Amino acid sequence: MTAGARRDEEVALWRLYVLRANYLLWAVAGVMVALPPLLSPDPAARGMIDSMFGGLWVMGILGVRYPLLMLPIFLFEFVWKTIWLLAFGLPQWMAGNASDRLNDDLIGIGNGPILFGLIIPWGYVWRHYIRAPTERWR
């Protein structure tokens, strides 16, 4: 049995399908959101956000095939969105600084920790990223 097969068996098949469905959603959304600015970029644009979305789009495509290997992408999304929510979104909202932009961000970014918190297989993360022995340094 290969290491990949053992890894797959650690996570329930339904959870792998949930992960794949979310990666597929990224891949499909990327065609509409990430691809157009990459195919015809604005010469005056800095392009950082478009490039990041392009990278996430490619990772989404890979995630459909390799949902556990691409799990760090979902962990990154969970962490940065949680940081934003706790450090910026909620404090501004609680201070009464609500604006249309903040409300949109609270929905678009603030739902991320909930969504990713539900779909990430935390037992797998614990075993493979927290408890696992470190990789060799030399």
**In the chain, alpha helices (H):** 3-9, 13-33, 35-39, 48-65, 71-84, 90-94, 100-108, 112-119, 122-125
Confidence band (pLDDT; 50, 70, 90) for 5? Answer: low
Reported confidence tier of residue 75, pLDDT bands at 50, 70, 90: very high
Q: What sign does the dihedral 81-83-84-86 (CA atoms) show?
A: positive
Residue identified by tokens 């990223």 is 129
**What pLDDT shows up at residue 4?**
57
Q: What is the pLDDT of residues 30-71, one digit of tens each?
A: 889 888 888 888 888 888 888 888 999 999 999 999 999 999
Cβ atoms 49, 91 nearer than 8 A: no
What is d(CA 103, CA 61) in angstroms, rounded to the nearest whole number?
30
